[in-house]
Amino acid sequence: MLSIRNLTAEVNGKEVLRGINLEVKAGEVHAIMGPNGSGKSTLGKVIAGHPAYMVTGGEIRYEGKDLFELEADARARAGIFLGFQHPIEVPGVSNAQFLRLAYNKQAEANGREELDPLEFDDYIREKIAVVGMRPEFLDRSLNEGFSGGEKKRNEILQMAVLMPKLAILDELDSGLDVDALRIVGEAVNGMKSKDRAILLVTHYQRLLDHIPAERIHVLSGGRIVKTGGPELALEIEKNGYDWINAEVGA
């Protein structure tokens, strides 16, 4: 589904990705781990098409097509979802309004029927239950005054509404308490399917207790320096990142 080769990128003239290679197939769950500043959030933003990041080399193929041909909004409509570490607040725009527009844009692009506010209301009610939210949540302004945990739940609600093919979840566990993490983890696990790939970007192993990943990639200095199975994450939890850096001489 996602194939990245020799990807390099810079932001404000500074090189932040220095040759990423990654293969993710439909149905798989991968985790990108690494210390702060290693470039793991950047990778998600580059895949999603953030305009501040300039790709300087390499390629990303998504479902066999060149991803760089598509603008950020077109990538989203093609099924790429980025769960933000810090979702923005938008006063005056209700959560429901935003979700419906996003849903309909995707439906329109994929030849599915758009939903009117009443139909959407039925649709969304099933979804909010999945992330353990009350309906009032939908009437509030998008992320405005939300706690850190509510914002993250809202990201997962958006994922549940859009049902992307590729979900990149950036630091999903930050700002979540144990109970919220469990709910969000279950929601994400419930969306696993053979047609969907999930890329977890995280600093800590604890997220992987809730959402198990079969492949772990360690990013350091803008490169993937080590790849392994679930045991790699456990080792990182025990010993930190320094030993890997020492091992690869980064």
**Residue numbers of the site for other proteins (CB under 8 A)?**
48-52, 71-73, 76-77, 81-82, 84, 87-88, 90-93, 97-98, 101-102, 105-106, 109, 141, 158, 162
One-letter amino acid identity for 67? L
Q: How far is the CB of 100 from other proteins (least distance, A)?
A: 11
CA distance 244 to 239: 9
> How far is Cα 31 from Cα 36, in angstroms, rounded to an integer?
15
**CB-based contact 28:214 (threshold 8 Å):** yes
Neighbours of 212 (CB within 10 A): 15
Closer Cβ to other proteins, 55 or 234, answer by number: 55
For other proteins, the closer of residues 167 and 218 by Cβ is: 167
Q: In whole angstroms, what is the distance from residue 143 CA to residue 152 CA?
A: 9
Instruction: Confirm if 38 and 217 have CB atoms less than 8 A apart.
Output: no
CB nearer to other proteins: give 106 or 220: 106
d(CA 208, CA 83): 16
For other proteins, the closer CB: 88 or 246 = 88
Cα–Cα distances (Å) from 22 to 30, 105, 125, 227, in that order, read: 10, 29, 37, 10
Specify the residue, 117 or 249, whose C-beta has the smaller distance to other proteins: 117
- The residue (of 21 and 97) whose beta carbon lies closer to other proteins is 97
* DSSP-derived secondary structure letter, 115: -
Minimum Å gap between C-beta 229 and other proteins is 30
CB 141 within 8 A of CB 99: no
Q: How far is 247 from 40, CA to CA, in rounded Å? A: 20
